[in-house]
Amino acid sequence: MNRKHLLRKRLGIIIGSVVMSLWFLIYFLMPQNEQLLSPGGSESCHSPMACAECHQPAAGTTRQQIQANIKHWLGQRKTGADLGTATIDNDDCLACHQSANEVHSTHRFMEPRFAEARAELGPHQCSSCHSEHSGKRVEVRGNFCYHCHDTLEIIDDPVVPSHAQLIQQQRYDTCLQCHDYHRNHLHQPPNKLTDALRLERIQAYLDGQAETPYGDKREPYLETRQPTP
């Protein structure tokens, strides 16, 4: 066997294995096969919701999706394409979780003044704080309020210690002891830190190990659409 022949044979093996791996990847990413790759959704808030409630098929046929990605890889296309299932965005979550009382709406954080918070925390995306399939209810640590409230001062502050003092001492872990982030529960924040919810209780809730400490939903009710049976 001459060198050229050997080289061609090796190239054949390499191309063959690449095609095989691609095929396996595509096979598992197809919506009808995705349960084979389940990252363990059983502990999530959403079990036993059907995977397709969130994972919608991506646009185009499998062949078009592969072509688009190859073109992207070769620099002939600006973006690639989703393979099998589409990437999940805020709208997918908001289709079920609509709240009339939301003060921290993801869309309002697109303003330029939140650029730094966007880069460091990502308040404009549900996925920054809620990663599905982690078993946790909230992924981010509870002290993230400093990104936007580090200059907060309230005239005639009713709270002891005052907000200004809490912020000066960087006690941002106390914020969730009195306030729910989405502000859609009946919970009334107390005036004294000594009357606030205990930190361990909050953490157990964020970790998905305890029910909400903030009580029932506010009127008008949060419209949580139930999954289609």
CB of 7 to ligand HEC, least distance (A): 38
Q: How far apart are CA 129 and CA 90, in angstroms?
A: 12
CB of 183 to ligand HEC, least distance (A): 5
- How is residue 163 written in tokens? 């907000």
Per CB under 6 A, contacts with ligand HEC among 20-59 are 34-35, 37-39, 41, 45-46, 49, 51, 53-55
CB of 189 to ligand HEC, least distance (A): 4
Question: Which of residues 56, 137, 207, 210 is near ligand HEC by CB under 6 A?
Answer: 137
Of 86, 77, 69, residue with least CA distance to 29: 86
Q: How far apart are CA 222 and CA 102, in angstroms?
A: 9
Question: Toward ligand HEC, which CB reaches closer, 72 or 102?
Answer: 102
Contact 167, 147 (CB under 8 A): no
Which of the stretches 1-9, 16-24, 73-81, 128-136 binds ligand HEC when contact is defined by CB under 6 A? 128-136
Per CB under 6 A, contacts with ligand HEC among 150-189 are 152, 154, 158-159, 163, 166-167, 172, 174-184, 189
Residue 95 interacts with ligand HEC (CB under 6 A): yes or no: yes
CB of 21 to ligand HEC, least distance (A): 17
Question: Which of residues 68, 83, 129, 197 is near ligand HEC by CB under 6 A?
Answer: 129
Which of the stretches 1-9, 14-22, 71-79, 133-141 binds ligand HEC when contact is defined by CB under 6 A? 133-141
For 126, 129, 141, 178, 198, the CA distances from 205, given in Å and listed in that order, are 17, 14, 12, 14, 11
Residue 103 interacts with ligand HEC (CB under 6 A): yes or no: yes
Residue 135 interacts with ligand HEC (CB under 6 A): yes or no: no
Per CB under 6 A, contacts with ligand HEC among 192-221 are 192-193, 196, 212, 214
Q: How far apart are CA 220 and CA 114, in angstroms?
A: 28
Q: How far apart are CA 71 and CA 77, in angstroms?
A: 5
For 36, 59, 72, 73, 157, the CA distances from 81, given in Å and listed in that order, are 22, 8, 8, 11, 52
Residue 17 interacts with ligand HEC (CB under 6 A): yes or no: no
Q: How far apart are CA 220 and CA 175, in angstroms?
A: 24
∠216-172-114 over CA atoms, to 5°? 90
CB of 149 to ligand HEC, least distance (A): 4
How many residues in the chain? 229
Question: Toward ligand HEC, which CB reaches closer, 68 or 129?
Answer: 129
Q: How many residues bind ligand HEC (CB under 6 A)?
A: 77
